[in-house]
Amino acid sequence: MRARRLGSATLLLTCLVAAWSAPAQAQDLPRVRLVATGGTISNKTGGRLTAEELVGLMPGIERYAKPEFEQFSNVASAQISLDQWLALARRLNQLFTEDAGLAGVVVTSGTDTLEELAYFLDLTVRSEKPVVVVGSMRNPSTLGYEGAANLLDAFRVAAAPDARGRGVLVVLNDSINAAREVTKTDTLRLDTFQTRGYGILGVADADRIVFYRKVERKHTAASEFDLANVTALPRVDVLMTYQGAPGDLIKAAVDAGAKGIVIATAGAGATSGTQQDGISYAAEKGVFVVSSARAGSGRIPARQRPADAAPNPRFEHLIQGEDLSPVKARILLMLALTKTQSGADIQRMFLEY
């Protein structure tokens, strides 16, 4: 009889301990907030999934994080304006500043311009806490929709302590890539987001989040780009080099109000046709021209100006884009022009970011 009483008492104590510890463990989970902007990941037939509905799609999220959510927008990525980019970056900075207990943020985006948004946030969200940008290639009404799995991986990465200080991350198809380096390489395939030349940062495997390396260029908390007094981003256009490319397109962009131009050049900075005439015209008008490789990888090294060289407007306004893709060179140039009109300073930024 006594043994039976002791067994019952032990069972009761075990249940009480479990009841007490379960909520405590739930409270100890890192809080991760979803800031949804739209994109294919939410674009089901007949309507769009809300941020709340997206959070409800993730099976087992309670094992990794305590999810929160808010709806920033719900449109295709190409419909988001530069003013909304500014507003989104300010919102993320506000979240990290006002909520010290927030572990990280997940941002949904359409995949068409996801790499651009991710790099803009990489330069403007000034926190070491993780920001993870995620999307999907298939919509929720399609067989094989991978959005829920990508979203769960994004939350797991944002909740991982090792994700701190690595800059803005892009998570799709179980892979973790750096915002600065990743690019969309295929229009339809699920493994479209890749880092050419350098490789992924890590993986989101079933057992744990694994990181292999860090990005050496400056980003996030180390960034000098402060949006506090920026009301609008300057116009920067992208033009491509091709056989016989006319320089009058460069002149037209300048005359239309462009403050900067990125040329997606052939090789390591080669132009064609009369583009050099257009570049000279831009320099004379005080417009900066960045050379970026159209090849998809590889550097265009910065040129060294001789110490005894006479001032040359063309040289001062021609910037080498290092290994940034044309669309990302545009983003860095836009932000650079909010701070300086010095060609030497802008070239420094392309070396550091």
Helix 275-284, helix 248-255: angle, nearest 10: 30
CA 82, distance to chain mean position in Å, is: 14
Distance CA 64, CA 208 (A): 10
Residue 225 contacts residue 124 (beta carbons within 8 Å) = yes
Catalytic residue among 37, 40, 108, 271: 40
40: annotated active-site residue: yes
Distance CA 324, CA 217 (A): 11
Q: Cα dihedral sign for 41, 45, 48, 54? A: negative
Residue 106 contacts residue 125 (beta carbons within 8 Å) = no
Please list the active-site residues.
Answer: 40
